[in-house]
Amino acid sequence: MLNNHDLQKAFLTHFSIEPAHLVHAPGRVNLIGEHTDYNEGFVFPAAINFGTWIAATPRSDRQVVAVAMDIGASENTFRLDDIRFDEQDGWANYVRGVVKMLQQAHPHIGGMNLMITGNVPQGAGLSSSASFEIAILRAFSEAYGLSLEGVQAALLGQQAENDFVGCSCGIMDQLISALGREDQAMLLDCESLTFRHTPLPEELAIVIINSNVKRGLVDSEYNTRRAQCEQAASTLKVKSLRHASLAGLEQSRSEMSDNVYRRARHVITENSRTQTMFTALQAADIAKVSEAMAQSHASMRDDFEITVPQIDYLVDIIAGVIGDKGGVRMTGGGFGGCVVALIPKNMVEKVSDTVNNFYHNQTGLTPTIYVCSAVRGAFA
């Protein structure tokens, strides 16, 4: 991973000019509230100390030249007047999409030179793409004095991903990348887009364990889950599952397939667990945090069916070590990726040893462990 000095140097070498702006946007870990954002429910993420860094200088013409340092300094150029999907350079569509959406809202923006690098593990459920989108928006906002606010930036990033890149994600990832706070997590109401930050108890560490399971079928499974949730909401005659209750779901059970019923049960119960966990964390009631995270994992495994055996195994062995002194669950969209654990700092070593000693033997995969901190978002 390069530091800012290397990034500046690479910019100078490539563009023969010093960068005028250096910006950063973090990735995120979701502590609880999975697949609830697009159901207008609650999520509880934190921005983490892995992210995207961009060096940028505005251009006097209407071209955007973006260079991906981590993909062999691959360069992608496009004109503001003709922004199209790039079939070859997948990564460039995040830049193109974001700039296209930004230009619709701020037609006076001009061209830009961008040198991009990052260290969010790709495809691990830690929001490398949202961090990329928000960093691009931060660069344009600074360079063209747009004074974008966090929620506006998040909505533009989401719009780029939904309408240009082609992934129907919710708003959580962009919002926390924009508005995270140091040492805090954020309870976000995805209907009103209002949020509350709360400090993470000092005695707990955020530990992320990457299962390194290659995620397959993520997009299609994600879209299927989303469609099933919408189907449930329509059967229950509510605007979104945010407005559904368990009692109402039970009453209408015979009107839906078992799959749709269980997807809805996950979302309804997850919304309530997320609020419970926020209150428990505020009160430093760790046993309650532990219970909420355990139930969340079981619900993702049994009702929403988005976990894989390797992830379930990680959760089991970590829970075996920490008991009710901390919490552990899968984090992110699912089908591989990472487990998040809130662990007493004095148990981190024991948990790491357990994971390193048992996970490989059981699965043939080598885990990666990141002890993280919660950081400030790009528009905070």
Question: Which residues in this chain contact ligand GAF in the complex, by CB under 6 A?
Answer: 30, 34-35, 37-38, 169-170, 172-173, 332-333
Radius of gyration of the chain (CA): 21
168 known member of a binding site: no
- Beta carbon nearer to ligand GAF, 37 or 303: 37
DSSP letters spanning 78-118: EETTB----SS-TTHHHHHHHHHHHHHH-TT---EEEEEEE
- Beta carbon nearer to ligand GAF, 76 or 271: 271
- Beta carbon nearer to ligand GAF, 111 or 332: 332
127 known member of a binding site: yes
Nearest to 82 by CA among 114, 111, 56: 111
Compute the least distance from the CB of residue 295 to ligand GAF, in Å: 16
37 known member of a binding site: yes
The conformation of residue 200, written as its DSSP 8-state character, comes to P
Residues 6+ positions from 349 with CB-CB distance below 8 Å: none
Angle, helix 258-282 to helix 286-302, in steps of 10 degrees: 170
124 known member of a binding site: yes
- Beta carbon nearer to ligand GAF, 153 or 172: 172
CA atoms of 52 and 180, how far apart (whole Å): 14
Question: Residues, the chain, total?
Answer: 380
Residue corresponding to tokens 């790709």: 122
Q: 252: which 2 tokens?
A: 């209408």
Q: 354: which 2 tokens?
A: 């357990």
Residues tagged active-site: 173
234 known member of a binding site: no
Compute the least distance from the CB of residue 239 to ligand GAF, in Å: 18
Which alpha helices (DSSP H) does 144-257 contain, by range? 150-160, 172-179, 218-235, 246-251
Compute the least distance from the CB of residue 33 to ligand GAF, in Å: 7
Known binding-site residues for substrate equal 34-37, 222
